[in-house]
Structures are given as structure tokens and as C-alpha cells.
Structure 1
Amino acid sequence: MKKFFLYLLQIVIAVIIVMFLIPKQLKINVENQKKYVNALMEKGLHLQAVKEYQKLLDASNLSRRESANISYLIGNIYMEDLNDYDGALTSYLKVRIFDPKSPLNSETDQKIIECLERTGRSFAAQKEMDKLTLLKEPKPVSRGMVVAKIGKREITIEELENQINKLPAYLQEIYKTKPRQMEFLKQYIYTELLYDGAKRRNYDRDKDIIEQAFQIKRSLMVQKLIEEEIKDKIKVSDSEVKLYYESHKKEFVENEKQKSLEEVKDKIIKILESEKAREAEKELIERMLKAEKVVIYEK
């Protein structure tokens, strides 16, 4: 009997060791593991980094928030470094499961949509985008007759007319008839579909596109400033037109016949406006250089 109790005691001790001592030894230090993963990433060892992050997920000492954060990081590696969008999608979906209230959810939702789009699941991507749109934006009130639908989105005659009115005057004339408006509507829908596809791929966050958009915006702002500054300085008087005509009569001869002032007046006005604009722009730049005390150091 005594031997039996000793044997039983040994079993109990062994169980205690297995249940308490060994797991403690296997627990992973989160911060050290993250440092190790960062070192792997710096060396371009992305798959190994994913495996080490996975070890953290398998550890029993992580909170749901920590598990969601690590899943997000794994998703980023799959997406940005490995171009494995299925792997990324799997990880991003885990973020939602581990922590439905994670502050990363907004970013995660966008990346899920991009992964769906890039893996050929455009319909699923659009459904996800529609869900987000419904959550973030109030349902628009339909105004006017509906002329087309893109999924649940309605395109009204008012929207169509507004788009046409944004065109240059000569194009507005072209799209006055109903058949032409239908052509424009189809082209507008094609563009919207492509734009939606680009948004699902998060191209609105693409660094090159952002830089190009900034440069275009910058140029437009500069042009607007110049126009505002010089608009009152490029007015051309009748006397200036006449003087230019008299000084450049030889330039207005066609088939050995001298053109009259009235025939070339508009052309002369444009020439003089262009000259005045260049001069006014030059003065503006010189004034700003002086005001801002610009110094250029030549090599």
C-alpha cells in the first residue's frame, strides 16, 4: 500500500510539472519575439518573420487585442512583401474575429477589399465596399428620374446633366440630343466602374498617384495665382492694337493682298495679351523674389 501511495504521488508531481512548469518555460517573451521578427524583416526573410509571428499567435499569454494586432502585421507582410493576397486576406479576417472593436478595423476593412479585388473576387469586394459606404454615409436622396444603376447606386438625369455641364462648351453642344446623352451615360458608367475598381485596390493611397495629384494641384494653384495677379495688366486698348498693326503690316499680307485692321484685330489682341502676360509674370516673380529675400548660390 505504501508503495502504491508513493507511485501515486510521483504521478501527481509529474502532472503538476507538465501543467505548470513546462508551459511557463514555453511562454514567449512578446517584445523579444517582435525584435527578432523586425530583424528578420530587415534581412528580407519575410516568410520566416510570418512563422515567428505565428508562434506569438499560438502563445497562450496574448490578449485578443494583441492577437488582432499581430494578425494585422502578418497580413501586411503577406500583402506588401510577399504579394500573397490570399494569405493577407486570411490574416486580415482574423483581425475582425480576434478584436471586433480594434482601432485597426478601418484600415483592415480597406485592405480586405483590396485583397478581394486583387484575387479576382470583384463582386465580393464591391459588396464589402457597399457595406462600408452604408455605414459611413447616409443614403442619398434620389432626385429626378433614374437613368441607370450601378449595383444599388442610382444615376439620375440630374447627375448626368451636371456631368455634361462640366464639359467645355463645344462638347456640351455635342451632347444635347438624347442619343448623344446615352453615349455619354455609357462612357460615364464605364469610367465609374473603373474608378470603383481602382478604389477597391486602394490606388487612392498609391504613392505615385498621390505625388502626381499633388504636382497637378500645385501647378493649378500656381496658374490660378498668376491669372489673378496679372488679369488687370493684360488689357489691350484699341490704340495699342492699331499701333501694332501699323508696325507689323508686312506680317498681315496674304496672296500679295494687305489685310485690314478689322480682319486681324483678334489675332493682334491675342499677341499683345500674350506679351503683356509674360511681362507681368516676370514682374510678379521679381517682386516675390525681392519680398522673400531669396538668395541663389551659384556653384
Structure 2
Amino acid sequence: MYEEKARSYIKTNIIVSIGFALTFVMLVALLVKIGSTNSGLSAGRTEKATTYANNLVSNGLYYQAACEFENILREAKLDDKKKANLLFILGNLYMDNLKDYQNALATYIKLKTYYPDNPYTTEINQRVVTCLERIGRHVEAQAALQSATQIGSIESPQDKVIAIVGKRPITMSDLNEAISELPETLQVKYSTPQGKLEFLRGNLLTSELLYNLALRQGLNKDAVYLKRISKLEKNLLVQMAYEREVKDFPKVSETDLRLFFEARKDSLYKGKKFEEVRNEVAQDYIRTKRGEYESKLLEKLVAGETIEIYPESLGISAPAIKFGGGGE
């Protein structure tokens, strides 16, 4: 009797154990399957996403470009060298284009922490100092400066003289600023010490020599030059005001893109799958939302001004049009 109960007990425990084992195996298989379906961007998608991010930079959409680079770093399967390179580009985008020194600082710190053998260490240290100075953390900036340069040196790396043309010194800041104005692919090319030397000798020095020639010829007092300067000044101020107004442009989320796609998948995307046209959807979404954002901005600006238009001056027989803050 006891033997029969013992056999029954053992049999029951074996069945339960097998059940637990099968459940565990199925759970592991499910997790593996889930992991494989969320393994990130493929090589082809990564290349397209990178091209898209570069196009955003070329079109002056720096915030959206930064978001896309962040997504690539988060989702794509990249080796350490490529990740370090993208982080360096992203940090420079935050610092040079968006003037977002806190995010730039965070990106540079991440690059130094995760990829300490990256080829940009010297410049990153200089940029970290500049970011700290720009956000008002002067004590920490001085400490970082002393750590990155010789003990007792008070010269900022950005102010270090790297060449002299005539009597005018060229600093590291001059060089970095000139490189930051280049397309993203060229920024990468000239980001290394050897690349910087190549740009300095082949581009920046030529520019400085021509500038000195123009001054000797008195072109800075020429009427054509002064007129162009006035126009450039106006355009620059317009661009700066615009960038300041749209700096809070809403961040693009995957949910927003999918909702935008679903509302237009038949009329605009001809029934294609979202994954096939994601980059196109993102561009259309940003273009549409930016148009709406700019319309609201225009309404706000018009409300603060009195505007009058005189059609008769254009040969149109019509009364003057008045609108805006003081118009009707």
C-alpha cells in the first residue's frame, strides 16, 4: 500500500516537473522570438535612416536630424567605431547647430565613457570645456580644462593659436567653426587631427589670404560690398529669429507617424506598408506640421503689426488693404 502511494507520488511529481520544464522551454522560445522581431534596424534600413538624417541636416532641420540620429544609435546594429562616430556627429549637431549645450555635453560624456579609445578625445575635451562654460558651470569648466591641458595652463583649447596669417592669429575655435559649417560628410572627413591640418592648409589659409587681399584693396568700403552686407545682415537676422521661434517644434514620435500614415495610406501612399515608406511618411509629416506651425507663427506676428498694401502701386485698381494689429 505504501509502495503504491510512493509510486503515485513520484509519478505525479515527474509529470509536474515535466510540465514546468516544457513551460520554461516554451517561454524561452517565446522570448527569443520576441527578441528577434525587435532586433532593431537592418543594415539597409540603417543606411536609409542615415541618409534621411543627413538630408534633414542639409535642409536645416537640425532638431529632427538629432532625433533621427538618436533613433539610429538606439535601434541600429553598429560596431563601436560607427557608434563613436555617430555620437561625435550628434554632439556637434547639438553644440554647433542647435546651441543645446546640455545635450551636447551629455553626448560627449557618453562618447568618452562608452568609447574611450575614440579618435576625437582631444577635441571632445575642448568641447566639454566650452559646453560647461556656455551653461554657466565655470568652476567645472576650469577643472575640466586643467584636466585636459597642462597643469597651470589658463589658455582655453578653443583659443589656442594654430596658425598666423600676416598679423592675424587663427585659433582652434576659428578652425572648428569653419568645419562646422560644412556638410555633415565633410565634417566627418575633417574631424581628425590630420583632417583638420588638411582643411587648415587647403581651405582656411586660402580664405584668410584672400581676405587680407580684399582689405588691402579697400573692398570693405566698396558700395556693392556694403549693399550686400546690409542684405546679408537682414537675411541672417530673419533666419535667427525664425530658428528661435521654431525651436520648440514638436518632437516626432513613431505613434504620430503611424497615425499620419493611416489617415493617408490609400490616397497618398497607394496602399503600401508603413515600413516601406517610413522615411517618406516622416518627411511628409514634418513638412505638414511645419506648415501648420509656420501659419500659426505668421498669425501671431501679423497680430502684432499694422500692415498696409497698396494694390494701385502694382497697377491694380483697388483700395489699400489694411490688416494686422491695427487694421481691420
TM-score, normalized by length of structure 1?
Answer: 0.42
Q: Larger radius of gyration, structure 1 or 2?
A: 1
Q: As a proportion of its length, which structure holds more helix?
A: 1
TM-score, normalized by length of structure 2?
Answer: 0.39
